[in-house]
Amino acid sequence: MPTSRLRLNFAIDCRSCQPRDSSCRSFCSNCVPPPHEVTPVSVQPGDILRDTEPTPVDGVVGRFSAVIPEAWRIFYAFGGATMATALRVAEAALEREDLHLVSSEAMFCQAIPVGPVAASAEIVRRGRTAAQVLVRLWALDPESPDPAGPERSDLMVMCVFGLSEKSPFEFVGAIAPDVPDPQDCPQPAPRPADSPFNNIPYHEQTEFRFSNSTIKWNEEFPAAE
Q: Which of 198, 212, 202 is nearest to 6 (CA)?
A: 198
User: Is the pLDDT assigned to residue 100 strictly greater than 80?
Assistant: yes
What does the alpha-carbon distance between residue 198 and residue 114 come to, in Å, rounded to a whole number? Answer: 17
Paired with 135 in beta bridges are: 121, 157
Cα of first residue to Cα of last residue in the chain, in angstroms, is: 39
Helices (H), 26-124: 48-51, 79-94
pLDDT digits (tens, 9 = 90+) for 171-216: 777 777 778 888 888 888 888 888 877 788 888 778 888 776 555 6
When pLDDT is averaged across residues 35-50 and rounded to a whole number, the result is: 72
When pLDDT is averaged across residues 137-152 and rounded to a whole number, the result is: 96
Looking at the chain, which residues constitute the CATH 3.10.129.10 domain(s)?
A: 36-163
User: Is the pLDDT assigned to residue 28 strictly greater than 70?
Assistant: no
| β strands within the chain, DSSP E | 55-56, 63-68, 99-108, 115-126, 130-139, 155-163
- Range in 94-103, 133-142, 174-183, 208-217 the model is least confident about: 208-217
- Answer for the pair 93, 123: CB distance below 8 angstroms, yes or no: yes
- Answer for the pair 94, 160: CB distance below 8 angstroms, yes or no: no
User: Is the pLDDT assigned to residue 32 strictly greater than 50?
Assistant: no
Beta-carbon contacts of residue 24 (< 8 Å; ≥ 6 apart):
17, 30, 31
CATH number of 36-163: 3.10.129.10
Prediction pTM value: 0.73
Q: What is residue 85's three-state secondary structure? A: helix
Peptide bond into 35 cis (omega under 30): no
